[in-house]
Amino acid sequence: MGFIDKPQRVWWRRAMFQIHLWAGIALCLYTVIIGITGSILVFESEIEHAAYTRLWHASNGSAPSAPEAAFVRAVEKVRHIYAGYQVTVAYPPDHAGDNFELFVRRGDAVRYVFVDASTGNIVGDIDPAHSWLIWITDLHFHLLMGKTGLLLNGIGSAGLLVLCLSGIVIWWAGIRNWARGLKVNLHSGWKRINYDLHSVFGFWTLAIVFMWAFTGVYFVWPRPIESAVNLVSSVSSSRPPAFTVPLRAAAATTDLQAMIRAAEHTSPSAAFAGAFFPVNNKAPLTLLMARGAQRNFSQMDYLYFDPSTGRQLAVWHRGVNTTRGSKFIFWLGPLHFGYYWGTAIKTLWAALGCALPLLAITSLIMYWNRYLGKRWKAARQFLLEEPSMRFRLLGWRRRRTSNRFI
């Protein structure tokens, strides 16, 4: 009899159980946080539009007649009004009737600014420090701890990988009983139902939780994973191209509208979708040309320009992958977020994300039923039966009662 028939009798299966148990306890709070925040952020765009309707929609609901020229005017308007701030990112409206969106930064201070697409006036801004949705985003990606939180997120994702691998070993109940792990027996007691819920949800969500965990590790440590994949198949087309930006005295930008026209000439079948502005005198200006939906960054041409001369330096056709390795690396982002396939997939991703806190809660209940509950009952029984301890408790209760009348 071996693992296939009687897995409970195999020593390494018992070792896997201990690993799964203590890793689950250590990652319980992390799993709840990541699951809930991730499910919310799947609908980040929809929530933003609903929460800040006044800022998103143009005053008369019309699109500008000359979109590129209006975009340049919006950038200059924000630079003038937010003197001392640096424009870092700017997007044109992704739907007719929406406003321009710009991010500005001054040191650690950041503002999310909206410019009316109809009038060119600044509608208002959002301070990320007071936005609950941006707080949730920071909680999901950085655990509210900056670079330290990002590192901890990578460690937590690696822990989830351990839980997935050890969990599937524990789930196997033997060749005769494996089918029990596919359904919940509602006619059993609540403890058995709780166990079945953990087992069933763990099995049916194993693939997507493993994917989320692996991509979470990749986002924190991309280079080692890319290097490993590159040994099998080149990942070059999934990365931005290598190029050198000529040194310049300042981070000023020359004729922005001329660079947009050059980008449209390079990518004639794509639509202008925004700009990443240089944050120092060594960075390029990056223009975005959408080959599909305007905010689908996985299908985007990135065109890099020297901001002081307007000369095009390089182009990256993101999403055009020429090798299997590039395709593998490319799909890690879209698969993790589930943004790019419509409302049905986003709803599915959000629902599956809720399985993470459910798995954490059911595991805690199992731990209480199997271990903590028994220890608590034994400790309570000892306190009540031990004579000296009983007298101490009675004395403490008398003192507490008498103190109420002092």
**In-domain check, residue 90:** yes
Indicate whether 162 belongs to any domain. no
Count of structural domains, the chain: 2
CATH assignment of the domain containing 70:
3.10.450
Does some domain include residue 261? yes
CA distance 326 to 317: 12
Q: What is the pLDDT of residue 251?
A: 57
209 in any annotated domain: no
- Measured from the Cβ of residue 155, the count of other Cβ atoms closer than 10 Å reads 13
- Give the domain-ending residue among 290, 322, 354: 322
pTM (2 decimals)?
Answer: 0.84
Q: H-helix or E-strand containing 201?
A: helix 190-204
Q: Quick one: average pLDDT of 325-351?
A: 92
Of 136, 168, 190, the last residue of a domain is 136
Is there a domain that residue 65 lies in?
A: yes
Q: Which of 268, 301, 322 is the last residue of a domain?
A: 322
- 103 assigned to some structural domain: yes
- Is the pLDDT at 404 greater than 50? The verdict is no
**Under 8 Å CB-to-CB from 128, ≥6 apart: which residues?**
110, 111, 112, 134, 135
What percent of the chain has a predicted confidence (pLDDT) above 90? 59
The answer to whether 273 and 91 are in contact (CB under 8 A) is: yes
Q: Which domain holds residue 87?
A: 52-136
CA distance 141 to 196: 31
Q: Token pair for residue 325?
A: 């390795």
Q: Do residues 42 and 337 lie in contact, with contact meaning Cβ atoms separated by under 8 Å?
A: yes
Alpha-carbon dihedral of residues 47, 48, 50, 51, nearest 10 degrees? 110
pLDDT band per the 50, 70, 90 thresholds, residue 402 = very low
DSSP string, 273-307: EEEE--SSTTPPEEEEEESSSTT-TTSEEEEEE-T
pLDDT at 228: 95
pLDDT digits (tens, 9 = 90+) for 200-233: 999 999 999 999 999 999 999 999 999 999 999 9
Residue 395 located in a structural domain: no
> What pLDDT score does 180 carry?
81
Provide mean pLDDT across the span 97-122.
92
269 belongs to a structural domain: yes
Instruction: Give 225-271 pLDDT, tens digit per residue.
Output: 999 999 999 998 888 998 988 877 665 667 899 999 999 999 999 99
Under DSSP, is residue 2 helix (H, G, I), strand (E, B) or coil? coil
- pLDDT tens-digit map of 268-321: 999 999 999 998 888 999 999 999 888 888 899 999 999 988 999 999 999 999
Q: Alpha-carbon distance 213 to 155, whole Å?
A: 10
